[in-house]
Structure 1
């Protein structure tokens, strides 16, 4: 079995590597060539942690495995990332363990890749102002990935603690983009693309604040009860997601479904747009929303890419078990 330590992964896999891997697996999912298995995600009753498993099989890419991990809210005080995870890959022909891969950095880049894919396929090509809601660990990954998709002129941002916006501002400056802290209503009035990446359990953006033509990528809702945008906002948008079943169960769509504002048939797979089976955005005034719930196949795809790159560079560790 190969071991790919967490510490070497940032030097192995680029944002473009992650984008390519996730784009391919979204397309395979839409063709039913890749399958996610039911998610297990529970509060463990210790350290306020959420822990679970995401798993699946990509028949097209011949990748089988699972990601194990979750969210420990007190980790930052210990000098650790709040999100902790490890990916395990298995040989689909024999079931033998193939690789163990550090999953923390990969979780951030695969999540950023998913929102970037939605921006590529769903946002207006003339989008100029990027809005960021949330300033946690994953926000800078989101900003960099988004900036690669459109020729933005400016970044505006909001966070419940504005003192945390410094890393986003620094990243924007590195990208040569002006940066401004704004309130949420101003965000909705100005931004052409909005990325939400929080752990909230209440709506942060309301329908009446959002201007026509906006694309919203909701990337933080991955558990029952979580919510980042008004359910009426979801109902007013053309909705796309990574996986429809998971969107309904634990994604942003759970609330609009529960309130009877939308039906399952109103939710589209982003993979269908990638494959050319759905036109995506239909007009410049249409509001589009991507419900990025975070599927196990994303993790497996980027982990498999990391394994291949580690083998090519001779930095994979091999052990017998």
Structure 2
């Protein structure tokens, strides 16, 4: 079994690698070649969450699980709040193949999923990017979005505005003007990415203009919520996996309120394989409910393992 520690990931997997891996995963899911197993998630108290996401990709010959969660006290200890590891197995024998550090991979695959949705669902003339949230993953989201569209400026909001200068620094690095705004000014955005761990909606329907594409990337657990159900009710809703969307994703609240049905939600992979047209008009509001599926983690981890083997990196151990 090859161990690929967290410290090596940045040199092995690029954002472009993550985009290609996640896009291929969504397409494989849509074709029926890959599927996710039920998510196991436990609350540990004091805001801590721990769980397992797993799946099988027959086309990519990937079987595995990501173990990890959210530990909000980590920042005070000099660590990021999201901690995880990915374990890959031989799908034919069950033999352990690799253990891979999952922290950077999680940020890369989450940003890649958002970028895939922007690439396929946002208007081609999108010029203003809005970011709701300024935590660890927000910068990854900004960089990935900027590769999907030629934005001219970025606006941002965060519950704790003192965190926004970090996001502004990423925008500056990309050569994009950045402005901190109040939520009503998100109406100026053509694309909005929400990336928070909020337990209550902050972005309302009145904050979003016709023709906007939203990538809602923070809700991946029962009880989390970033946008109000009325927003999803008037939008065309896409997701990584419908089963997760209605149970642990952003759509859970709209479905519970009767504002949206499971049948209304489309897997984005259907757009990728040409089975759904995606955006139908310039005035349509589109929403991508990014719940984060285990197959994404396996795909990017497999890239890391393949590169590590090619370059003689990592540590082989007997099992």
Query: TM-score surpassing 0.5?
Result: yes
Q: Distance in 1 between matches of 2:306 and 2:104?
A: 16
Separation of aligned partners in 1, 2:27 and 2:301: 17
Write the distance in 2 (CA, Å) between the matches of 1:260 and 1:162. 34
Q: Which residue of 1 aligns with 2:81?
A: 82
Which one is further off, 294-303 or 47-56?
47-56
Shift of 1:305: 0.7
TM-score (norm 2): 0.99
Report what 1:206 is aligned to. 204
Offset, 1:11: 1.2
Structure 1 vs Structure 2 CA RMSD: 0.7
Find the counterpart in structure 2 of residue 37 from structure 1: 37
Q: Which residue of 2 aligns with 1:288?
A: 286
Distance across 1 between alignment mates of 2:165 and 2:3: 35
What TM-score do you get using the length of structure 1 for normalisation? 0.98
Partner of 2:15: 15
Q: Distance in 2 between matches of 1:141 and 1:273?
A: 24
Aligned to 1:232: 230
2-structure distance, mates of 1:313, 1:142: 29
Q: Distance in 1 between matches of 2:43 and 2:214?
A: 29
> What is the SS of the residue equivalent to 1:177?
coil
Give the distance between the partners of 1:312 and 1:198, measured in 2 at CA: 37
Q: CA deviation at 1:210?
A: 1.0
d(CA) in 2 for partners of 1:206, 1:134: 15
1: CA distance, partners of 2:96 / 2:166:
38
SS of 2:83's partner is: strand
> What is the distance in 1 between the residues matched to 2:233 and 2:4?
42
CA offset digits 1:130-168 (Å, max 9, x no partner): 000000000000000000010100000000111101111
- What is the distance in 1 between the residues matched to 2:246 and 2:159? 27
Residue aligning to 2:62: 63
**Any residues of structure 2 matched to 1:98-117 within 5 Å, and which?**
98-117=97-116
Distance in 1 between residues matched to 2:191 and 2:266, nearest whole Å: 19
Aligned to 1:217: 215
Deviations 1:88-119 (A, max 9, x none): 00001110100000000000000000000000
Instruction: Name the SS of the counterpart of 2:53 in structure 1.
Output: strand
After superposing the two structures, state which structure 1 stretch, 136-145 or 311-320, moved more. Answer: 311-320
1:146 aligns with 2:145: yes
**Aligned twin of 1:309:** 307
Q: What secondary structure, in the 3-state scheme, does the structure 1 residue paired with 2:223 have?
A: coil
Where 1:88 maps in the other structure, the secondary structure is strand
* Aligned: 1:49 with 2:40: no
Measure how far apart 1:193 and its partner are.
0.1
C-alpha distance in structure 1 between counterparts of 2:117 and 2:304, whole Å: 23
Secondary structure of 1:251 counterpart:
coil
Equivalent residue number for residue 157 of structure 1: 156
Query: Which runs of 5 or more structure 1 residues have no equivalent in the other structure?
Result: none
- Following the alignment from structure 2 to structure 1, what is the Cα–Cα distance between the partners of residues 225 and 267? 20
Structure 1 segment 162-173 matched on structure 2, within 5 A: 162-173=161-172
2:129 alignment partner, SS class? strand
Q: In structure 1, what is the equivalent of residue 96 of structure 2? A: 97
**Structure 2 gap segments, 5+ residues each:** none
Count of matched residue pairs: 319
* Equivalent runs, 1:174-189 vs 2, <5 Å: 174-187=173-186, 189=187
1:227 CA drift (Å):
0.5
Q: Which runs of 4+ in 1 moved over 2 A?
A: none
Once residues 50 and 262 of structure 1 are traced to their aligned partners in structure 2, the CA distance between those partners, rounded to angstroms, is 27
